[in-house]
Structure 1
């Protein structure tokens, strides 16, 4: 029986290479064919077939018993790699090849995997459409006229299309989870600080994290182990022992009917499987969230981005980088911080010293008071929308701002620093819909155990 290489997840791929069902080179060659077949999606930014085939063989021969032995991984183009340029999707860095790999790339290499391609992205990761004026729009494999989400849109699209089994994105306010939801794959944001953030084109050192995307929870768990060094077992969880908080206020407001139907169906399924669903309310948290979210991003990007350039691309000045931004939404966001309207330090200090501790306290109290294992909610209020709607999208007949609408449900977890995972809801027709589970900070492996149980229940 021949293997369907396009459908294998990462765990199965490594097993197949290890037992000789397919050689590392054969797998890499088939992957290159898939990349060519789906080139119209513009998901892949940098790819070299000869390099991938050669490196796959070497990686497996060097680390035959390692966790990722011989596995090609796609990485978002803001994660430093020495074998491909790292552009952040922006003009000034298109030919920039760093001298050192990012910390997470080093972890992948040490585990016998390697970066097989760089994925296209929203310019400088400052948006959720992946409609990039410099490198072109990334297209959703489910409908190429639609956005894949962002900013890790290329990674999600490459996995959803079957080019790669798994990959790396980054997530500041939802950039792993949103494209996972819109493309129909799994996206994981770990507890902030769980993975090495060195060698990544930054937005905010307080909020940024690398995160894996894949088509199975066991793949996410595998990559979490590799990237964190945490090899704790993913326990078997019975849904009858699980309590999930359902934050109806805000998270369930004004949902697209397709999202509401798909998520409610999964909540009913989880309840039928024995999970205890409890309505919870985070009402006091929202003023703190608003006072934290953008102040931290805008204050830190104007310091973190120049610091990255000084260390990793010293021949590119910050002024040159800003002048080369071509996506209007990104140019507007960065440009807003260049003059008198720049985020004041007082707002930034209040965000860190007042609003984040308050958010964490409120968040923790809700979990404690209700005995929660996680909260559950729609990853995004709406599915994918047509490419080009970067400023506004239609939601229930109204034109609403694109960026804040898509990040509405993912933003809070980013600001509290919690682990969150978006799983695809089974849908009979139409575009993919994501359902997200967020836990307490530090509970990453417990959340992955829960996600595996949910994945199993949804597949039945």
Structure 2
């Protein structure tokens, strides 16, 4: 049972007609957050503050005052972000006892200023270092898409995704370093938007990889993502709605279509058929440069190298308190030399320039967000081999566009009644507004 199923404009219209109140929405969401279906979704709840924000928004409406963008609507925040007076745990136990944050992260402060009723902090992969979403310390929220089988929610923004999928929040503030917004959005049937990295300030978010980390959110629709993005960035994107007819959409044939699960391949093919019928130009391109990423991102990779710089003292002090899988991945960065790290940066800059040139003239790149349906949880909990295989598959397509420093949406594209499949639309850095216009048109065609 999902508590909130409406998009933000629909909720605002219902509020304006007096059919419900922000207090009722938030109180219901808080009650639903305590139900068994929401187990392990939140690590902390803020009932008093959330209800106070809701009542304030209701009072504004009653007084005829136009409320801010997210006034009184329930929003969740990933346990990666500083909240004044609290220690940021980032899904860990090793950070307990460390100093409390002196101020809210800018992303959190901007959500408060927009009137959002912040329900609480959501569970996540420890230190945001996995696309699977499993957390051995705080439990793993179950993907709501399948009532018969416990499936992973995707990560690292696992609780953020499930909070929205269960209807506890209109938006989940998360982050995306290699796919941590788009992967769980795809597996849980949501819309996720990874903006260009520089669009939203990253201060107050515990780092995984400063070269790749992006502050962003997931919601129920493209328009809702844009509403939240405008708050997080401090200004809306200048999005001009465009018809799908005539848009040039690139379909890379290297790497991104490898090893697709049959259900994913079928949903992807069906989506392309609908887009073509609506007049979009679908153009297959080799984009063989995608196959270069593992070599250029070696040794170690940006995330292990930069995460080791952040966490090496914690590892030395209390490695046994880490998720062992996360610790093992962070330690891959321990032996990388400064000259190797600088070479990684140079190789990436050259690769970005080459790929940007190849994508010039296209309105977006299309591919499946992830090549598989949400895997069953038990096997990935029990087996390191199964876990790392699944993690690599889940991150493969999404990471390519973090490496590009691009922007990307994941949109649901499965048929009614089927398990969620994500369609990824991506473009180069700074092309967020144009990509958003494409995403709006694609979403309408797939509806």
Task: Give SS of 2:169's match.
Answer: coil
Contact between 1:379 and 1:434, CA under 8 Å: does it hold in 2? yes
Equivalent position of 2:325 in the other structure? 329
Q: What do the CA deviations read for 1:53-77 (whole angstroms, capped 9, x no partner)?
A: 1232236657852111112210111
Shift of 1:362: 2.1
Give the deviation of 1:48 after TM superposition. 3.5
Counterpart of 1:449 in structure 2 is: 437
Q: Distance in 1 between matches of 2:443 and 2:311?
A: 38
With the length of structure 1 as denominator, give the TM-score of the two structures.
0.88
Conserved? CA contact 2:253–2:287, under 8 Å: no
Q: Say which of 365, 381, 393 aligns to 2:357.
A: 365
Equivalent position of 1:310 in the other structure: none
Task: Trace 1:225-264 onto structure 2 (pairs within 5 A).
Answer: 225-264=230-269
Instruction: State the distance in 2 between where 1:82 and 1:455 align.
Output: 37
> Quick one: distance in 2 between partners of 1:135 and 1:5?
23
Contact 1:127 1:150 in 2 (8 A): yes
Q: Provide runs of 4+ in structure 1 moved above 6 Å.
A: none
1:384 shift after superposition: 0.6
TM-score by structure 2 length? Answer: 0.91
**How many Å separate the matches in 2 of 1:319 and 1:89?**
19
SS in 2 for 1:251: coil
Q: Tell me which of 211, 214, 222 is aligned to 2:227.
A: 222
Task: For residues 266-323 of structure 1, give each alpha carbon's deviation from its aligned partner in whole angstroms, at most 9, with x where no partner exists.
Answer: 00110000000000122134324542274222221122457xxxxxxxxx95644644
Q: Is the 8 A contact 2:152 2:374 kept in 1?
A: yes
- Residue number in structure 2 paired with 1:458: 446
1:400 Cα deviation after fit: 7.5
- Counterpart among 130, 134, 138 of residue 135 in structure 1: 138
**Structure 2 vs 1, CA of residues 233 and 130 (structure 1 numbering), >3 Å: closer, same or farther?**
same
Q: Distance in 2 between matches of 1:256 and 1:58?
A: 48
The structure 2 residue matched to 1:112, chosen from 87, 93, 115, is 115
Counterpart CA distance in 1 for 2:28 and 2:401 is 38
Answer whether contact 1:84 1:118 (CA < 8 A) is retained.
Answer: no
Unaligned 5+ runs, structure 2: none
- Over 3 Å counting, the alpha-carbon distance change for 1:69 and 1:287 in structure 2 is same
What do residues 182-237 of structure 1 show as CA deviations (whole Å, max 9, x unaligned)? 11101111001110100001111110011110011110010111111232442111
Q: 1:289 to 1:190 in 2, by over 3 A?
A: farther
Deviations 1:117-137 (A, max 9, x none): 111111111112221111112
Pairwise mapping of residues 60-459 of structure 1 onto structure 2 (< 5 A)?
A: 61=59, 64-82=66-84, 86-94=88-96, 97-143=100-146, 145-288=150-293, 290-292=295-297, 294-305=300-311, 319-320=316-317, 322-325=319-322, 327-338=323-334, 342-353=335-346, 355-368=347-360, 371-388=361-378, 389=380, 391-393=384-386, 401-459=389-447
